Amino acid sequence: MQLHFSPSMRSITISSSSNSNNNNGFIDLMKIKVAARHISYRTLFHTILILAFLLPFVFILTALVTLEGVNNCSSFDCLGRRLGPRLLGRADDSGRLVRDFYKILNEVKAGEIPPDLKLPDSFDQLVSDMKNNQYDAKTFAFMLRGMMEKHEREIRESKFAELMNKHFAASSIPKGIHCLSLRLTDEYSSNAHARKQLPPPELLPLLSDNSYHHFILSTDNILAASVVVASTVQSSLKPEKIVFHVITDKKTYAGMHSWFALNPVTPAVVEIKSIHQFDWLTRENVPVLEAVENQNGIRNYYHGNHIAGANLSDISPRKFASKLQARSPKYISLLNHLRIYLPELFPNLDKVVFLDDDVVIQRDLSPLWEIDLEGKVNGAVETCRGEDEWVMSKHFRNYFNFSHPLIARNLDPDECAWAYGMNIFDLHAWRRTNIREIYHSWLKENLKSNLTMWKLGTLPPALIAFKGLVHPIDPSWHMLGLGYQNNTNIESVKKAAVIHYNGQSKPWLQIGFEHLRPFWTKYVNYSNDFLRNCHILEA
């Protein structure tokens, strides 16, 4: 489009370019004579045509603005502010609507939900109620808040119920494992091969021979013990140098003996002993026995109602899970405290490796005997050096109640913790210390304080008793946490010498993590008749 002024500036012609055969290449659209006494008919015709085209749209927009009723515009100024952006194609009111909604939400957040407000059970019902009842924006916000709070409560209650069920599952004995113990016990009484001496008489001298690698395992779980022993022997470069000392309780002894008598792990040597066969383990030497047997408060704490007195509205699910873990009945078992008495139980041994029953050995452990502990007693992996807050970021503050004056005076909350479950113990150096006496004295103090100094089993008193006597070993020797969290790094699991299913999700339980269970099940002989008859089957 172009403007052309006449030489006399008396007229203006509005023209448009065209590809037609017009000689001048332009088509006149409108000619206006300036200061003329008349307007051309063409100008008048186009003006009327444009007005006839625009006026209906102006009328429709005005009607819509008036009928919306969001704001009551009573002036031309207000109408102009609303109509102008529409005429200019800028009718987006989203910014204003968002600000209005924020204002309503702040009002609803500070207010109380009306007691007579009926909350819908689903989003579809919410939409239906809004449509049928014509609720205003504030009522809608109250309904939204009420629905969210209701669902949050339900999710929270479900989480606590899940944690309780998981705790009961972790504390109970699976039917198959209980069956295995009963069948093997019956086999012990009826089958002479199940009662054969372990180890054979000619190998008895090896039980105190310090040129061999001595492993100690304390457990009442026959299936778990079989995996620990089998994985250790199969991973060893010199299995003929291995001697296993398996300690169990009186009720499990016959079944444990039957299993290893009928399923030998030659060339390794296995000894099975019950607690009652150690003459040294008397009430006079082990005060924890009398405390556990006689103090009802302890038994109620570990076997009582774990949810009684707990205000679930003031505790996070994670803290509740930690409290449940601390109340595992295994923590009052002498088998769990037994490791503190190793120098007395094995007076002829100088160095041993103690293993928990929830570990799997994936690499030859003989180099552990070559580690120079530099005069320390306990070779262990420190658990304060990693980013994983569940397992590898543990300091003394995680285990002790530093509001207790005795704890605050004697311990440093920032001191690094270390791992139980795979430890190399120098028993020769241990016998020159008073570790056992310190352990007992702190255990008595905690009992007198009604368990207010610490809650979690045997590790806290051991952290105190071994204070200053722990030699850190490379973390690759012992990887923890496979029973705590589902997101354990598989590649790290494959590289670790010992993997530890510490936590509730044991691999022999249904609550075990599926992707971590194969590292354990590969050492279970599912074709064994006893396992098949007890329906212990590979998942």
Per-residue pLDDT, 450:
81
* 325 and 468 fall within a common domain: yes
Residues 6+ apart with CB under 8 A from 467: 415
Same domain, 405 and 504: yes
Q: Compare 33 and 222 and report the one with higher pLDDT.
A: 222
pLDDT tens digit string along 159-169? 777 777 777 77
pLDDT value of residue 322: 65
Whole-number CA gyration radius for the chain? 41
Q: Give the residue-averaged pLDDT of 116-121.
A: 79
Among 93-97, 110-114, 354-358, 489-493, the range of highest mean pLDDT: 354-358
> Considering 115, 140, 164, which residue would you say is the last residue of a domain?
164
For 126, the domain range is 93-164
pLDDT, tens digit, for every residue of 48-68? 767 666 666 666 666 655 555
Residue 13 has what pLDDT? 61
Residues 156 and 211 reside in one and the same domain: no
In a domain, 3, yes or no: no
| Residue 363 counted as domain residue | yes
Whether residue 204 is found in the same domain as residue 330:
yes
| Integer CA distances (angstroms), 429 to 207, 351, 417, 421, in order | 20, 9, 21, 20
Average pLDDT over residues 279-306: 67
- Place 461 in a pLDDT band, splitting at 50, 70 and 90: very high
Residues 141 and 239 grouped into a single domain: no
Whether residue 16 lies inside any domain: the answer is no
Instruction: Evaluate whether residue 51 is within a structural domain.
Output: no
For residue 295, pLDDT beyond 90: no
Do 324 and 449 reside in the same domain of the chain?
Answer: yes
Amino acid at 386: G
Do 366 and 421 share a domain, yes or no? yes
Residue 73 pLDDT level (bands cut at 50, 70, 90): low
Residues 121 and 230 in one domain: no
For position 38, what pLDDT does the model report?
Answer: 54
DSSP bridge pairs for 244:
215, 270
Overall pTM > 0.85: no
Structure tokens at 250: 């009186």
Flag whether 510 is in a domain.
yes
Which CATH number is 482's domain given? 3.90.550.10
Mean pLDDT in residue range 185-211? 96
Considering the domain architecture, whether residues 152 and 189 belong to the same structural domain is answered as: no
Domains contained in the chain, number: 2
Share of the chain above pLDDT 70, in %: 75
Same structural domain, 466 and 508: yes
Of the pLDDT bands very low, low, confident and very high (cuts 50, 70, 90), residue 26 is very low
In a domain? residue 15 = no
pLDDT of residue 19: 47
State whether 413 and 325 are in the same domain: yes
User: What is the number of other CB atoms lying within 10 angstroms of the CB of residue 438?
Assistant: 17
Asked whether residue 147 carries a pLDDT value surpassing 90, the answer given is no
Residue that terminates a domain, selected from 164, 198, 216: 164
Contact 177, 508 (CB under 8 A): yes
Let me know if residue 327 belongs to a domain: yes
Give the residue from 164, 193, 221 where a domain finishes. 164
Amino acid at 101: F
State percent of the chain over pLDDT 90: 49
The number of CA neighbours under 13 Å toward the Cβ of 198 is: 29
For residue 92, what are the contacts with CB-CB under 8 A and spacing of at least 6? 85
Tens digit of pLDDT for each residue in 404-425? 999 999 999 999 999 999 999 9
Note whether 136 and 234 are same-domain residues.
no
In a domain? residue 48: no
